[in-house]
Amino acid sequence: MSRRDQIKLSAEEIAEFLDQQRVVICATLGPRGWPHLMPLWYIVRAGDIWAWTYAKSQKARNLERDPRATLELEAGEQYQVLRGVMIEARATIHRDIALVADVGAEIYSRYGGGAADNGFTDAVRAQAAKRVALQFSAERIASWDHRKLGGMY
């Protein structure tokens, strides 16, 4: 078995890892062809990573031009405990305000930003008018968990 196969995460382990992490780094291609990396809060819906951002943000504009994105999540401070997931994804930009508001509410709920009362709902809906929801559908996933090597490198 190759080292790559030894450290690869299973689908269940990837789902658990995504649930545990808080920030995904999203790489898009900027207008000059350089990678543009930004952190995003996110949720997982039916296996896809979803986020929201301002409609006029650089990442949204980049994805309008080219829907390819690479997402990366990682954990661990020392080599023997490093683990992570890299996802090559195709992004879909959603502009429907109700859907954007739903995604925003889920994100705020996940990160402890509010309760689903009328004031919270009104605040999210006001934000949704200026934002888009980003749906990242995986085309290729690479993963690693150095803890699986048991200290043998």
| Beta-strand runs (E) in the chain | 24-29, 35-40, 43-45, 48-54, 68-75, 83-94, 131-145
Beta-carbon contacts of residue 86 (< 8 Å; ≥ 6 apart): 70, 71, 72, 141, 142, 143
- Virtual torsion, Cα 38, 44, 49, 55, nearest 10 deg: -60
CATH numbers and ranges of domains, the chain: 3-148 (2.30.110.10)
Rounded to two decimals, the pTM is: 0.91
Spell out a b/e string for 1-32, using b for 16 or more CB atoms within 10 Å of the CB, else e.
eeeeeebbbeeeebeebbeeeeebebbbbbee
- The pLDDT, as a whole number, for residue 125 is 86
Q: Which residues of the chain have pLDDT under 50?
A: none
- The pLDDT, as a whole number, for residue 2 is 77
- The pLDDT, as a whole number, for residue 150 is 79
- The pLDDT, as a whole number, for residue 71 is 98
User: What are the C-alpha distances in Å from 43 to residues 21, 47, 79, 115, 150?
Assistant: 10, 10, 27, 17, 31
